Amino acid sequence: QSVLTQPPSVSGAPGQKVTISCIGSSSNIGEGYDVHWYQQFPGTAPKLLIYANSNRPSGVPDRFSGSKSGTSASLAITGLQAEDEADYYCQSYDTRLSGSVVFGGGTKLTVL
Amino acid sequence: EVQLVESGGGLVQPGGSLRLSCAASGFTFRSYEMTWVRQAPGKGLEWVSYISSSGSHIYYADSVKGRFTISRDNANNSLYLQMNSLSAEDTAVYYCARVHSQELWVFDNWGQGTLVTVSS
């Protein structure tokens, strides 16, 4: 069971908007640690999609946006495209025990 | 272009050892912190270890502490992960990743990964 909780799957039709949640706790997101998002296609390495809650690396379309509030964060994808079908992971830092980078369990996005 | 190329994966028996390497190019390796992240087959991402740019600060996930050792050779632009006392739970694709220059714990470039299989 992951420290950060994501829905196992979400889906949407082309052109629609989908949101992926990432629920943490007072020892990670709620403690003030930033949330980052990665996109991973089958058989390939993860790619940084959003960092520090809402920042996009160069080259990432502005259809992708992130937000954070309290002990949770969200990734929103607008104007859904077939090529957005992938796994998405949130990541933060957790202060429990000796401290550690933590990932969500991942969310499979299906474009209908 | 940033490139990270892992090598050294393979099949190893339980209790065995393996050393992974990550060859870096396209950036000033000695200036960047680095990390290892793994992904078991069909599972999510799991952070493994971190090393500062000079190698003076090192951190491990509890799951590998005492068994894995991260190191780097800045003269040869290389990152390493020495893995000892391996068990089936260590079976995974191991990725090396670069830490963002201005944002701690952000992994902005990843290698293609190397598969480690622990089985008898």
Convert the pLDDT of each residue in B76-99 to its tens digit. Answer: 999 999 999 999 999 999 999 999
Query: Is the pLDDT reported for residue A101 higher than 90?
Result: yes
B38 min Cα distance to partner chain A (Å): 10
Q: How far apart are CA B70 and CA B55, in angstroms?
A: 9
Cβ-based contacts of A98 with chain B (< 8 Å): 59, 62
Q: Please give the pLDDT value at position B35.
A: 97
Q: Are B99 and B34 in contact (CB under 8 A)?
A: yes
Regions of chain B where pLDDT drops below 70: none
Cβ-based contacts of A45 with chain B (< 8 Å): 95, 110-113
Q: Are A91 and A75 in contact (CB under 8 A)?
A: no
- Name beta bridge partners: A13: none
Query: Is the pLDDT reported for residue A99 higher than 90?
Result: no
Chains A, B: CB contacts within 8 A come to 64
